[in-house]
Structure 1
């Protein structure tokens, strides 16, 4: 109401005027001068929605199109070194007619070859003159597909199962390709690595593109999606949100649909004709944390078991409590996804699905046991039974070590009566990749049994989580157990949780851990000293939480080596819940960055006994400093020094904090200061107007002794000033002119 707005609707295809009119109604009450911009590739949509003449975007200039083409075609070579190819490339770009996707896809196609004959073949291809029935597909995209190797053509065609705009993950698609037997093993690579290679190849040729929704998320351009649907023909069928029924054909092999639009049995009845269906794949565009959907018993118990050729069955996020015993009819099943379901028990008959390669059971909170005969599924390669905090399983099934091809096992649980046998089973799982969580380590009776896990030989693990848990009276046993679980030197991430030993093993901090990038140590309450983590040259993130036995952190933390510069790669350092920690000693020459030359974020939380000063000179690259509930008395800087990168400073409940650095805090890029709960603080940093010229926000609370701003007044860029519960009400002594400052307008 009365607000001025700019609203952009990008890539609209809906031609329903009534729907548009409903959406538009609230915007009629905005301030005059507001605008709605609609982009579309459909002239009918533009006519229906527009109140002004349609603005037709010009095609990209030939010069800019050539830049895009060259970026992708010559990324590993010098353009000027190939004058003939440069000439041919210009001619190819002319045929792209100013469409950037066309230039990008052909550049990706040709980047793998610098052979003149191959380039000329593309230029002179008959595909540039498509017959009328194929005119909806851009010739350049046709060419990109036509010259794909046959194995990539099959993998790309399968992707027509995804609706337009659907976001998928690399690992998700590779497992589906694996189940459909689309991956060809070669050399010594495992098939999953081959699948990732295929995926990267399709990215480089612009068939996939990164999605803004996540680092490892991808999507297909609408025109690429049209191409996939065309080349897959009648073999792939996807039911969109506005479809009323399945048009199932006997040729249909792969089916996808949106979960929220298929609730009744009548939508699935036609599946009875699809006797050779291989993929049953419900999808969801936006996945809420714990959202569940209903599946009719008639579909689950009567229909699905009759689809005997199924290879992919996804039942994730359905409110399913048990599977029918007739699931054993699906002898060809290779991929079964039951994650985020209410499943309580898996039927024993499932253990006759001998072709099963992937079983996904993550976030199945009601599942406490796996089938006793799971070890019979000798082709199983991926078993995900985890959650963010671990699994709810109470124990592992016997003879799980028979799954010798297992590549991914999210969690391994050691229960008390069978811990020794379980650890022997873990020894047999030699090919594990990715992340493994081992919980219940306190249940190991004899520390020597931990050697049987053979962790040093599991060279493909990248993330290892070791959880002890529970109370133990034998801290020496825990120490020996952890020592015997030394991982392979390839490990990138390590978490140690609830360890009850008094010291950490020697391998944590020596050359065998040199590739560690991320380390979490939590709830190790008996440890009095930290290991020499400064020796880890690759360590970028270090999180230490609830080590209540640590009173002092000194030279042992950095490593007693005058040659090795400690923590040379560390960027993030967090200490939390260190209830007895009193002293932090710094080492090294502060002129060279001390022990933390690369640290960008320092977080101290709930360390109530930590006393002394925090010397900023030891953190020359610091961008963010957060201190919550610590006894820090002051921040210090040597005269003339500067914090060039610092942008955020937050300090709460530092009751004994007295002062900022003498002479002021020189941080030219600091934009926000937030301080709260300073009993003894009397003044803010000196010379804020000159040393903190980028400061935009100041928030001050519960500082009863604070009386005034420093001489010189407020920084010139200040936009927000919040003062609360400061009983001596600050008096500003501002000599500067703030009439034109951002603060004067707020």
Structure 2
């Protein structure tokens, strides 16, 4: 993907090199001309790049002979990356000078009249001077090639001279490459920019099955048939066999989420297997699906995992889905199935695979379900559903083309979905004809027949979005991709660089477009319906591997003594290591790592990393060593000049080297769940840091947060409990770019003051989610009742806040004064120990979830809680209290006795309420009658003896029901019997 990199270089040369770097290089005569030549050659090459890349793709599929074109393109990529490194190196040097308070331009100013006898001398800053030769190509004929400089700036001059030499060398290479382009008769494909696509939903939600009802009913029947069993005993194994893209996983998902299936099985586990068949990896996933505590053995041996599965599965009727199984051998399968034999009668294993041999290995050939292609009618229905979503009025305009597209789908749902997603952006008949007449349909030697429509969608993307999509191949198959992480990774590779646009906003736009075009699937969403995570279809992943085989490399360590070597080609830029289990230098040679821009690990245990290996990653932008059991972080990490993204999460090291504070270009630093981490680096030099994640690293002390003015994300801020140097609330004062979510911990620290809380200026930071946690381990916690309440009132958040948690506040008797001025609040948790009354929360128009807990003084919830005064309740106009509230919880309210009733026909109370929980409110006498008029679907009353008697008839009840209920026991139960799900009992 040279095109996007070259476009980036052109923008940098225009906006950075000339305006900022140029004035420093002007003293090296001739650089301006070199920069101009670079830009001119890059523009000439850009015009033919699309055709060059098309030829290389076709050559790789055996359609044309394009080896020489590939060589030309590889050389261009190499030079472009070198140029990017040079510009990045120079920008970093400028940042260093600025941080040190040095004006790098002034450092080489040549005073007037200093030319004596052809020798240039600078004004002395030290007594000692050094002679520095400059290359002849950058010298002026009237000046000798000797400059006398003070020794304290020699390093700067040498570095500047080196940059000039590199620019000249790169320009010579690029000129030759630009001239060679004429040999290949490339088509000039430079086009006017395409208009942006219509704004549609962020992802396609297909809410019904197309043509799979028969298969679904058959499969559900097999799962629920008590008479069916494996011929050798144990769980019944049902293999679903079919081509890639035919919908095996989709069918399993339909069955997995079926209501009858949910009721029938005690446990359901979904495991993505893929290739290779790794028993320990699969066993870990099974344990995680069975054990909510996730008590997974820490071992490289299979036996502990088998023992744990046996414990968890014994006597339980389970459904296990093994999705996308490729090539297990019989011994592997026999080991994995042993603990599963302990499951109860009726247990089932669903297996999706492309290969019938898998069913033979599992001994389940008599239960196979061969998934066939969709009928033409169902294919057309699916294609039309996606293509004309939100544009049904255009169907007649394009109806003449639909049949041709349906035929090209060949009954494969993935193809129908992909082509539908592509065509929903086409507005004219010519665009539809162009797709049908694309030469890509003529490609014969292609690995998968579904690659053709996927390639069409791929090439329909802009070059910048294409590059972002290709980077997703650095994740393993079936990996759950976190959207925010993905955007930060794109940013680390400079894929989101846009003049006058924020990179995170560009990343969101790119993700939305890829989601709309069906390049992602299996979306997970937050409470507001926003996509947070996704997956990629394995066929899509195969295509990306095919397209990036010269640039991305994934390696799986299959043996403890296996020595790994990167391919000798210099074109590899991104490396993914999986299943490594020892020091890197013992399994991976560093000889070919010098050009890597990404080094990332998955499912690996790497206890140590040798400094020599880190040093070899001199061009790396992204370094992910999370979850590797790393004990020590080498200080050499701080020497990685170009590093933008560093993830060291879930490791056991106790400190980070100070040199990490020298990573001037670092944009994202992840230190999540580093429980042993005591000392962090001095952050004050990390002026480009935008995202800092430290959640779970509870003892971490870092300096310099107050200087990080570019910081946008800070997931946790730990208030200091025993020092006045760092970790004070006023450190947040100048971090005006903070957004998203922030958790503030230990607010009851005795070192905090009201003035410090005011100086934090939370109201200037567009935070959407805020946690104010006053819990504090310090014995010298604030004792004065007014202090915590005053600090709470001083931490007024931005009015756009959507969720708020106030936890462990003991120094207030009321909610903060600013609470009712948050018009967009959707979720609220209040844990204010000595709270005496509740404000009019019913007037918060968008509140959806409310959790009130652990109050020692509140005795009554009155009508003021609903936001209804007694006068308005008698008015003729209708009043709505809590118009959007869905979930309401009261818990551990020791003195709460009364919830006041409201009796008025002009008041609607909680018209959307779905669930109500009342826990450990032992003195509460009754629930108000208006609750039974709400659309409650779930009621939980736990450890509330008086309420137990009122609504069940027994104080010591232990009854729980999830649907069918016994006959009414008393009048109180009659009032709640219409609620579908009721739980009443005690928690132990």
TM-score normalized by the length of structure 2: 0.60
Q: Distance in 2 between matches of 1:364 and 1:569?
A: 39
Q: Distance in 1 between matches of 2:753 and 2:328?
A: 71
Aligned residue for 2:837, secondary structure, equals coil
CA contact (8 A) 1:357 1:381 kept: yes
Q: Residues 541-560 of structure 1: matches in 2 within 5 Å?
A: 541-560=849-868
The corresponding residue for 2:765 is: 458
Q: Distance in 2 between matches of 1:433 and 1:566?
A: 30
Q: Distance in 2 between matches of 1:98 and 1:90?
A: 12
The corresponding residue for 2:107 is: none
Tell me if 1:343 matches 2:653: yes
The offset of 1:97, in angstroms, is 1.2
Q: Residues 276-675 of structure 1: matches in 2 within 5 Å?
A: 276-284=595-603, 294-297=605-608, 299-371=609-681, 373-387=682-696, 391-393=697-699, 396-398=702-704, 400-415=705-720, 417-418=723-724, 422-442=728-748, 443=750, 446-459=753-766, 461-470=767-776, 471-499=781-809, 500-509=811-820, 512-522=821-831, 524-560=832-868, 562=872, 564-587=879-902, 589=904, 595-615=909-929, 617-633=931-947, 654=955, 671-672=963-964
The corresponding residue for 1:254 is: 574
CA contact (8 A) 2:491 2:497 kept: no
The corresponding residue for 2:402 is: 89
Of the three residues 148, 151, 166, the one matched with 2:464 is 151
User: How has the CA–CA distance of structure 1 residues 701 and 319 changed in structure 2, closer, same or farther, with 3 Å as cutoff?
Assistant: closer
Q: Distance in 1 between matches of 2:830 and 2:667?
A: 34
The offset of 1:241, in angstroms, is 6.1
Q: Comparing both chains, which one has the higher relative contact order based on Cα–Cα distances under 8 Å and sequence gaps of 6 or more?
A: 2
Matched positions, count:
649
Of the three residues 148, 165, 168, the one matched with 2:481 is 168
The offset of 1:266, in angstroms, is 6.5
User: How has the CA–CA distance of structure 1 residues 139 and 556 changed in structure 2, closer, same or farther, with 3 Å as cutoff?
Assistant: same
CA contact (8 A) 1:616 1:635 kept: no
The offset of 1:118, in angstroms, is 1.3
Q: Distance in 2 between matches of 1:653 and 1:419?
A: 58
The offset of 1:71, in angstroms, is 2.0
The offset of 1:124, in angstroms, is 0.7
The corresponding residue for 1:16 is: 329
Which whole-Å deviations, capped at 9, do the CAs of 1:19-64 have from their partners, x for residues lacking one? 4466678999999999987543235546666645986543212221
User: How has the CA–CA distance of structure 1 residues 315 and 173 changed in structure 2, closer, same or farther, with 3 Å as cutoff?
Assistant: same
Q: Distance in 2 between matches of 1:602 and 1:225?
A: 44
Q: Distance in 1 between matches of 2:927 and 2:235?
A: 49
User: How has the CA–CA distance of structure 1 residues 652 and 547 changed in structure 2, closer, same or farther, with 3 Å as cutoff?
Assistant: farther
Q: Distance in 2 between matches of 1:307 and 1:149?
A: 30
The offset of 1:321, in angstroms, is 3.5
The corresponding residue for 1:720 is: none
Tell me if 1:218 matches 2:534: yes
- Give 1 or 2: higher helix fraction: 2
Which ranges in structure 2 are unaligned for 5 or more consecutive residues?
1-231, 240-321, 873-877
Q: Residues 268-279 of structure 1: matches in 2 within 5 Å?
A: 268-279=587-598
User: How has the CA–CA distance of structure 1 residues 699 and 423 changed in structure 2, closer, same or farther, with 3 Å as cutoff?
Assistant: closer
The offset of 1:428, in angstroms, is 0.7
User: How has the CA–CA distance of structure 1 residues 627 and 64 changed in structure 2, closer, same or farther, with 3 Å as cutoff?
Assistant: same
TM-score normalized by the length of structure 1: 0.78
Aligned residue for 1:496, secondary structure, equals strand
The corresponding residue for 1:99 is: 412
Aligned residue for 2:553, secondary structure, equals strand
CA contact (8 A) 2:387 2:420 kept: yes
Aligned residue for 1:434, secondary structure, equals strand
User: How has the CA–CA distance of structure 1 residues 694 and 269 changed in structure 2, closer, same or farther, with 3 Å as cutoff?
Assistant: closer
The offset of 1:467, in angstroms, is 2.0
The offset of 1:598, in angstroms, is 1.9
CA contact (8 A) 2:237 2:367 kept: no
The offset of 1:112, in angstroms, is 2.1
User: How has the CA–CA distance of structure 1 residues 688 and 145 changed in structure 2, closer, same or farther, with 3 Å as cutoff?
Assistant: same
CA contact (8 A) 1:673 1:699 kept: no
Which whole-Å deviations, capped at 9, do the CAs of 1:332-361 have from their partners, x for residues lacking one? 111111111112111111111111111111
User: How has the CA–CA distance of structure 1 residues 356 and 210 changed in structure 2, closer, same or farther, with 3 Å as cutoff?
Assistant: same
The corresponding residue for 1:194 is: 506
CA contact (8 A) 2:646 2:668 kept: yes
Which whole-Å deviations, capped at 9, do the CAs of 1:68-121 have from their partners, x for residues lacking one? 22222222312x434232221321221121111111111112222312211111
The offset of 1:307, in angstroms, is 1.3
CA contact (8 A) 2:720 2:726 kept: no
CA contact (8 A) 1:88 1:119 kept: yes
Q: Distance in 2 between matches of 1:328 and 1:312?
A: 13
The offset of 1:415, in angstroms, is 2.4
Aligned residue for 1:608, secondary structure, equals coil
Which ranges in structure 1 are unaligned for 5 or more consecutive residues?
285-292, 637-648, 661-668, 676-682, 703-746
Q: Distance in 2 between matches of 1:421 and 1:3?
A: 58
The corresponding residue for 1:74 is: 388
User: How has the CA–CA distance of structure 1 residues 30 and 531 changed in structure 2, closer, same or farther, with 3 Å as cutoff?
Assistant: closer
Q: Residues 220-235 of structure 1: matches in 2 within 5 Å?
A: 220-235=536-551
Query: Which moved further from structure 2: 692-701 or 217-226?
Result: 692-701
Which whole-Å deviations, capped at 9, do the CAs of 1:536-565 have from their partners, x for residues lacking one? 111111111111121211123222453752
Which whole-Å deviations, capped at 9, do the CAs of 1:566-589 have from their partners, x for residues lacking one? 212111111111111122113353
The corresponding residue for 1:236 is: 552
CA contact (8 A) 1:588 1:595 kept: no
Q: Distance in 2 between matches of 1:37 and 1:366?
A: 41
User: How has the CA–CA distance of structure 1 residues 690 and 354 changed in structure 2, closer, same or farther, with 3 Å as cutoff?
Assistant: closer
The corresponding residue for 1:64 is: 378
Q: Distance in 2 between matches of 1:31 and 1:466?
A: 47
Q: Distance in 2 between matches of 1:196 and 1:359?
A: 20
Which whole-Å deviations, capped at 9, do the CAs of 1:417-456 have from their partners, x for residues lacking one? 5389833331211111211122333346542432221211
CA contact (8 A) 1:444 1:450 kept: no
Q: Distance in 2 between matches of 1:478 and 1:583?
A: 28
CA contact (8 A) 2:477 2:538 kept: yes
The offset of 1:365, in angstroms, is 1.3
Q: Distance in 2 between matches of 1:412 and 1:382?
A: 13
Query: Which moved further from structure 2: 153-162 or 261-270?
Result: 261-270
User: How has the CA–CA distance of structure 1 residues 701 and 378 changed in structure 2, closer, same or farther, with 3 Å as cutoff?
Assistant: closer
Which whole-Å deviations, capped at 9, do the CAs of 1:655-709 have from their partners, x for residues lacking one? 5x9xx9xxxxxxxx9715599xxxxxxx81479999969989999999xxxxxxx
CA contact (8 A) 2:879 2:906 kept: no
Q: Distance in 1 between matches of 2:399 and 2:939?
A: 51
CA contact (8 A) 1:11 1:41 kept: yes
User: How has the CA–CA distance of structure 1 residues 699 and 134 changed in structure 2, closer, same or farther, with 3 Å as cutoff?
Assistant: closer
Q: Distance in 1 between matches of 2:983 and 2:762?
A: 51
